[in-house]
Amino acid sequence: MIAAEAPDDLVRAVEATLFAAEEPMSAEQIALHLGFGEKGAGQVRPAIAELARHYEGRGILLVERGKRWHFETAPDLAHLLRREKEELRRLSRAATEVLAIVAYHEPVSRAEIEAIRGVQTAKGTLDVLMEAGWVRVAGRREVPGRPVIYATTLVFLDHFGLGTLRELPGIDELRAAGLLDPVDEDMIEAVLGPANVRKTDEPESDPD
């Protein structure tokens, strides 16, 4: 009770730092900023935890997003604060679907996205998601053709209020049901019409 009323200097410093920061900060970044050096994260973590506790139930919360901390307004106040910003363009259905596929399957190639959706994905769809800062190129898959693979960003976690990708809605059930398993190319061929049926007629072409 008294601690909450009179936070110690470290807690105050972490509080001020996180309030003033323009971007979410990791414990390491906070420690570095406060002069604890690169290995000072352990020293600031208890202060972060105390702050998070202190703000529980208040109008603003200290939340962790991808191991980085920032203050944001309490979600239950959304109805009072909600603004439809113009920048928050409405994503097309295709774009939201691609975003979900990237998030639930990451890292994922464009071909894999297309296999799930059953249609070609316009280049522009991924561009829009990358421009929004939600999706990034995460390298190439080391298979023939070395396709580019995509993954989500920290901004994505921030924006959708996710601490980690494990907090994606329903991800555990989807995984348990096998619905996030790697896409089976032959299954696609089986579905996508005569050309593929001919292919699947060749026995044992299935690598699985």
Partner 1 sequence: MIEAPGLFDGWGGEDRAEAQDDALYLEIDGWEGPLDLLLDLARRQKVDLRTISILELVDAYLTYIEQAEALRLELAADYLVMAAWLAYLKSALLLPRDEAEDPSPEEMALRLQMRLQRLGAMREAAGRLMGRNRLGRDVFARGAPEGLRVDRKSLWQCSWYDLVRAYGDVKVRSEPVVHMVRERMVMTLDSAIQRVSSMLGVAIDWMDLRDFLPPAHDTWADPRLRRSALASSFVAALELARTGKAEIVQDETFGPLRLRAVKP
Which residues are CB-neighbours of 71 under 8 A, at least 6 positions away? 18, 19, 55, 60, 61, 62, 63
- Judged by CB under 8 A, the residue of 5, 38, 86, 208 near partner 1 is 86
Question: Nearest distance from residue 43's CB to partner 1, in Å?
Answer: 18
d(CA 66, CA 203): 46
Residue placing its CB nearer to partner 1 in the complex, 78 or 143:
78
Residue placing its CB nearer to partner 1 in the complex, 149 or 162:
162
DSSP 91: P
- Judged by CB under 8 A, the residue of 77, 179, 192, 197 near a copy of itself is 77
Q: What is the DSSP string of 129-194?
A: HHHTTSEEEEEE-SSTT--EEEEE-HHHHHHTT-SSGGGSTTHHHHHHTTTTSPP-HHHHHHHS-H
Q: Which of residues 2-61 bind partner 1 (CB under 8 A)?
A: 16-17, 19-23, 33
Q: Which does 108 bind (CB under 5 to 8 A by kind): partner 1, a copy of itself, none?
A: none
| Residue whose entry in the numeric block shows the structure tokens 């699947």 | 200
Question: Nearest distance from residue 2's CB to partner 1, in Å?
Answer: 26
Q: Which does 150 bind (CB under 5 to 8 A by kind): a copy of itself, partner 1, none?
A: none
Site for a copy of itself contains 4 (CB under 8 A): yes
Site for a copy of itself contains 40 (CB under 8 A): no
Site for a copy of itself contains 73 (CB under 8 A): yes
Site for a copy of itself contains 36 (CB under 8 A): no
The full length of the chain comes to 208
**Region for 3 from its dihedrals, namely left if φ exceeds 0, alpha if ψ lies in -120 to 50, beta otherwise:** alpha
The window from 1-9, 36-44, 97-105, 138-146 that contacts partner 1 (CB under 8 A) reads 97-105
Site for a copy of itself contains 151 (CB under 8 A): no
Question: Nearest distance from residue 153's CB to partner 1, in Å?
Answer: 13
- Closest among 109, 100, 104 to 185, alpha carbons compared: 109
d(CA 139, CA 109): 10
